[in-house]
Structure 1
Amino acid sequence: MRGMLADTAPLRNEHFRRLWTANIITVIGAQLTVVAVPAQIYAETHSSAYVGLTGLFGLVPLIVFGLWGGALADVMDRRTILIGTTTGLILTSAAFWAQAALGLGNVWLLLSIFSVQQAFFAVNQPTRSAVLPKLLEPKDLPAANSLNMTVMMAGAIAGPMVGGALIPVTGFSLLYLIDTITLFATLSAVVRLPKLPVEGAAGTPGLRAVIDGLGYLRGHPVLLMSFVVDLIAMIFGMPRALFPQIAHLNFHGPSDGGLAFALLFAAIPAGSVLGGVFSGWVSRVQRQGLAVVASIVVWGLAITGFGLAVGLADNTSRSLMLGIAVLMLVIGGSADMASAAFRMSMLQASASDAVRGRLQGVFIVVVAGGPRIADVAHGGAAALVGPSPAAAGGGVLVVVLVIVAAIAVPGFIRYRLAPSE
């Protein structure tokens, strides 16, 4: 049983342990803000169009500063970047709190603060991922990434539940204040890191550095494939844009939420948490490329099963089909967690230190951008053929396309974890 549970070997490293423990504290506060921002915008405007602007105001700085932040992380001392960006996140959270406490009620101010916060986040995340290979042995990276993802997904479940319960009672300002205070735990952890200069750092963090980082992928098809297969999995296999329609029309829930709605949205993060809890096996996998392909195939099959269960809901017991649909999403979430842990570990272990930050920046952009493209693709497909065929067909495409990609670049499935020196 111990071999099944999450591998905690990375926690023996004091620096990683402090970062991970701080993240447990910080992630709840961060998720409270994730809930509070759109809720406050809707409360002030009563317009879903304004709420939708969070996607634009969040995605643009995420792409721009994700790529530039990765280039910055390949030039500057990474500890210095983490201190600066964590301080920036604290200040933006404090700004959220101040505008709510003062009752300013200006949606454009709120969106502007959100955009600045996402810019700091976009620089912080690739830098944070790039430091792990400097702290841990390559064999410990899959377990470390699984531990980090488990905390993030647990926060994605707990944060909205806590935030949804607190907003009607306390208002928005308390949630922002909690986020501000909990971020000091992360600041304390990064301040205590050793200096983390970049090996072989050269040049300046400008457009040329970003282009050079992308050019690095052309000569490393295995790393390029790690992005390609993730885009396949997310663009064709992430049906979250269909959840409101499915919950309302197929499972006869209310149009503004309800149990089916909540279960569908919570299922994938819940699967990721379960996958993280029982992730002891990931540290024993040597053929990580093959493991990524297998994980994405399971994801695609699970989404196909989800779509079929949705389609059968009108012809048999809706509660039974809802249970099967949720189970399929849970299985998919577990597979996605494994895929992400292996892909990030391959990037961290295989890329040279001089480009590691830029590649982590690309990773952040792909992870954030893929599901947003999926929202558009699935929404359009559902309008033409209905939500069930759109979801099931997307799952089938994931399986077919990832197998084709693996055959096209056989070096990816032959990739093995390098032995520790």
Structure 2
Amino acid sequence: MARLLMDLSPLKKYPDFRRLWMGSAFSTLGFQVTSMAVSLQIFHITGSTFAVGSVGLVAVLPLIIGGLYGGVIADARDRRLVALTVSVILWLVSVLIALQAFLHLENVWVLYGLIAVQSFVHPINQSARGAIIPKVVGLKRLPAANALNMSVNTLATTLGPMLGGFLVAAVGYGWTYAVDVVTFTVGLWALYKLPAQVPEHDGTAPARGVKAVIDGFGFVRRSPVISMTFVLDVCAMVFLFPQALFPAMAITVVGGNAAVAGLLSGTMTLGAFLGTLLSGRAVAVTRQGAALTWTYAGWTIGMLWSGVSIAWIAAATTPGTPTAWGGLASCMVGLMVAGASDAVGGIYRSTILQTAAPDTMRGRLQGLFIVTVTGGPRIGSGVMGAAGQWAGPGLALVYGAVACAASVGALSAKFPQLRAYHAPVPPETSAIDTLQTPQARTETAEIPRVPPPPAQRPDED
């Protein structure tokens, strides 16, 4: 049983990682509280799932620009200073979101504008943070560190939407947004305590501007394994991200309230937390590419089950009846399966990306990673919001599952490099000053396949 549980050694061995992990937990909790409250407030103002889904559409362009150039900044400057500066900006945006609620502006365009600013700054912060992690823990414990980060993020995203829904129902929007203001302060403290995190450039000047962005895309293009991690995730999120449907599912179909919408979102991330909690064997898998591909099957099946359950409630029951609540329980089972699959896939995606990138490129690849893993869901929110308005939330998920399965299956068949990928054997040391990525990975068109380690592994130090 112990081997099933996640590896806690990065928390025990590295105080800097421990502080980052704690700061991420609090800031993510507040962010998720705010995200749910924003969805509920926009639905309250407009009564439209499309308006809720448009939050994602509004955020896409700023997120792409911030992700691309945030990675360039993170590869050229002290990553600790970059993350700390933009975190202060994010904290100020949280203050303004709370202020608009206390002033009762009731204007969706104010919310859209603040979300756009937040979406521009957030990927810069995440690019710098993500590039710091391999330097802090080393490649040997990188999968375990990614699992720990995933676990704390999914726990926060489990509790955050539920807490956001309950707080909106209990104390209103203003005080709910204030939670984000308070919790984000812990994240600022964690970054402040870090030592300087200057990228390694071997005495050469770092690339800047458009050229640096082009270099990042060129590296991805030459690595089919990395390219596929991006493309498959975009397909899964664009066709099948359900966040915009939760208010309509909870209130219109089931007959519940804002708290039920938070419960639905929290259920999906609860499944993700359970997936990371039992990730002990997952982080030891060497065929990470094939394992990642199978996680998309779990995501699709879980969402299909949820969509069928909601479609059945809408067609065969009356909102607010025990039968409708029973259908909701069935929907939640599917959301948990999907969330668990996505979380385990996230561990593989992060590890493949961070292992394959040299330190001088990690910020840019983290920027691209943030663009895909956050931009895809935001576009998906718009797609699902429009589909839910047209076909209802249940059928929107069913159609999305079909599209997701078709696209992921076709791409996996056409580009088998990801399924053939084996994780390289990590170096035995995890000291920051000796961490190096093999130069050959930046010069070949494909990440080399490394044979799996022998069955009898040496003991961890």
Give the TM-score category using the shorter length: 0.7 to 0.9
Aligned 1:222-261 pairs, distance under 5 A? 222-244=225-247, 246=249, 252-254=253-255, 259=260, 261=261
Number of the residue aligned with 1:404? 410
Aligned 1:4-403 pairs, distance under 5 A? 4-11=4-11, 12-37=13-38, 54-97=55-98, 103=103, 105=105, 107=107, 111-167=112-168, 170-200=171-201, 202-244=205-247, 246=249, 252-254=253-255, 259=260, 261-313=261-313, 314=315, 318-378=324-384, 388=394, 390-403=396-409
The one-letter amino acid of 1:27's match is T
The one-letter amino acid of 2:289's match is G
The one-letter amino acid of 1:231's match is V
How far has the Cα of 1:98 moved from its partner?
5.1
Q: Is the deviation greater in 84-93 or in 290-299?
A: 84-93
The one-letter amino acid of 1:363's match is F
Aligned-partner Cα distance in 1 for 2:332–2:192: 42
Cα deviation, 1:270-300, whole Å, max 9, x if unaligned, reads: 2111112222222211111011011112222
Aligned-partner Cα distance in 2 for 1:79–1:345: 21
Aligned-partner Cα distance in 2 for 1:39–1:149: 26
Gaps of 5+ in 1: none
How far has the Cα of 1:385 moved from its partner?
6.6
Cα deviation, 1:365-395, whole Å, max 9, x if unaligned, reads: 1112222333444456567776555533433
How far has the Cα of 1:167 moved from its partner?
4.2
Cα deviation, 1:334-354, whole Å, max 9, x if unaligned, reads: 001011111011111111222
Cα deviation, 1:163-210, whole Å, max 9, x if unaligned, reads: 344446555444444433332322222122222221236445322221
1:153–1:194: structure 2 CA closer, same or farther, 3 Å change rule? same
Aligned-partner Cα distance in 2 for 1:73–1:400: 36
Q: Is the deviation greater in 411-420 or in 240-249?
A: 240-249
Aligned-partner Cα distance in 2 for 1:180–1:308: 38
How far has the Cα of 1:221 moved from its partner?
0.8
How far has the Cα of 1:111 moved from its partner?
4.5
Cα deviation, 1:24-63, whole Å, max 9, x if unaligned, reads: 23333333333444556677x6675876664454333212
TM-score, with normalisation over the residues of structure 2?
A: 0.79
Q: Is the deviation greater in 49-58 or in 20-29?
A: 49-58
Q: Is the deviation greater in 68-77 or in 114-123?
A: 114-123
Aligned-partner Cα distance in 2 for 1:362–1:160: 26
* Conserved? CA contact 1:147–1:276, under 8 Å: yes
The one-letter amino acid of 2:355's match is A
The root-mean-square deviation of aligned C-alpha atoms, in Å, is 3.2
Cα deviation, 1:134-166, whole Å, max 9, x if unaligned, reads: 112324222222222222222223223333444
Residue 416 in structure 1 maps to residue 417 in structure 2: no
Q: Is the deviation greater in 185-194 or in 305-314?
A: 305-314
The SS at the match of 2:338 is: helix
Aligned-partner Cα distance in 2 for 1:378–1:109: 23
* Conserved? CA contact 1:293–1:403, under 8 Å: no
The SS at the match of 2:141 is: helix
Aligned-partner Cα distance in 2 for 1:392–1:40: 27
* Conserved? CA contact 2:268–2:338, under 8 Å: yes
Aligned-partner Cα distance in 2 for 1:379–1:93: 25
TM-score, with normalisation over the residues of structure 1?
A: 0.86
The one-letter amino acid of 2:127's match is P
Aligned-partner Cα distance in 1 for 2:69–2:420: 32
Aligned-partner Cα distance in 2 for 1:55–1:397: 20
- Number of residue pairs matched? 416
How far has the Cα of 1:358 moved from its partner?
1.3
* Conserved? CA contact 1:222–1:411, under 8 Å: yes
How far has the Cα of 1:71 moved from its partner?
1.2
Identity %, equivalent residues: 35
Aligned-partner Cα distance in 2 for 1:393–1:52: 17
* Conserved? CA contact 2:165–2:262, under 8 Å: no
The one-letter amino acid of 2:160's match is G
